Amino acid sequence: MALEVRTGLRKVRCSAVNQHGPVVQGALLRRRLIELRRLARLTQEEVARDLEWHTSKLIRIEGGRTGVSRVDLDALGHLYGVSDPAVMEELRHLNREARSKAWWSSFKNDVSDAYLTYIGFEAGASAIRQFQPLAIPGLLQTEAYAETLVDAATDMAILKQLVQLRKLRQETLRHRPVPPCELFVLDEAVIRRRVGVRRDRTIMPTQLRHMVEVAEGNEHISIRIVPFESGSHVGMVRGAFTLLEFDNGLGELLHRENGDLHETLVGEDPRIRHVRADFEAILDEALDPTESLALILETAASME
């Protein structure tokens, strides 16, 4: 399956075939198990009673707070009336993939579990749409910019690890067999703020030129700028957010963060629909891709 995503003035076909990663595979497994339980017209309490479990165990499994063993998975499949061997093998495959070790697990001592979960979803997304009113998105940052930004907000002991994490996020996404579509909409304030100027005056202009090179060198990446001349817009109230899309029936995901606080919503939550509408409204205020890149280069030149 492929998605068509609006990235600027064109539509780009995106896919994430066989590259979802354990977090996405785990979410798919939970979604499938819930669907099967509902098709069997069973409540969580009824399942727990029939399997002689505490109800809390099934709640934790369906909520993603614990994994499911092969024995328990087979028991659930039998109770839900799964008679097709292919369906059962699909569930086992998802479970194996969900329990596999991810590259980002090595950073578990440096960032929160909530943020690592988001990175896991990001790693398997088919499309990434992000609005940023204050800072360059992590997926576009140079190491020098990231170091300056992280240095202002965290202990030096883990600075290098956090910068490395951002670098690996960029590399793994762009080296996937089929990269995701990435659309970044930035307020003009993002490119005007001279991050790092007290350390090295070249950090910000170098960062801006890097963004242009990335966008010009990859058809799956688009950058749009909302100019000051547009006046006020809904993004000024909404704040930074990211929308992820998947090509496997998982639905859409909304991620918002404020400092160390992370919120990730998946599925049919109405807040996702509202933020999606806000993103389209912000995008309508933005310059087109060519004008946006020209403004970024003009800004870089003014800083030099």
What pLDDT is recorded for position 7? 46
What pLDDT is recorded for position 3? 41
What is the Cα–Cα distance from 181 to 284, expressed in whole angstroms? 19
Instruction: For the chain, 304 residues long, give each residue's pLDDT as a single digit of tens.
Output: 344 444 444 444 444 344 578 999 999 999 999 999 999 999 999 999 999 999 999 999 999 999 999 999 999 999 999 999 999 999 999 999 999 999 999 898 888 888 899 999 999 999 999 999 999 999 999 999 999 987 655 566 678 888 899 999 999 999 998 899 999 999 999 999 999 999 999 999 999 999 999 999 999 999 999 999 999 999 999 999 999 999 877 889 999 987 667 788 887 788 999 999 999 999 999 999 999 999 999 999 999 8
Closest CA to 20 of 177, 145, 131: 177
In the chain the first and final C-alpha atoms are separated, in Å, by 46
What pLDDT is recorded for position 122? 95
What is the Cα–Cα distance from 246 to 298, expressed in whole angstroms? 35
pTM: 0.86
**Residue owning tokens 């990235």:** 7
What pLDDT is recorded for position 259? 65
Query: Mind listing the domains of the chain with CATH numbers?
Result: 3-18+104-303 (3.30.870), 22-98 (1.10.260.40)
* Amino acid letter for position 69: S
CA gyration radius, the chain: 21
Angle of helix 113-123 relative to helix 159-174, nearest 10 degrees? 20
H or E stretch covering 297: helix 289-303
Phi-psi region of 264 (alpha: psi -120 to 50; beta: other; left: phi over 0): beta
Q: Is residue 286 classed exposed, middle or buried when 0-12, 13-18 and 19+ CB atoms within 10 A define those classes?
A: buried
What pLDDT is recorded for position 260? 65
What is the Cα–Cα distance from 206 to 227, expressed in whole angstroms? 21
- Whether 133 and 184 have beta carbons less than 8 Å apart is answered as no
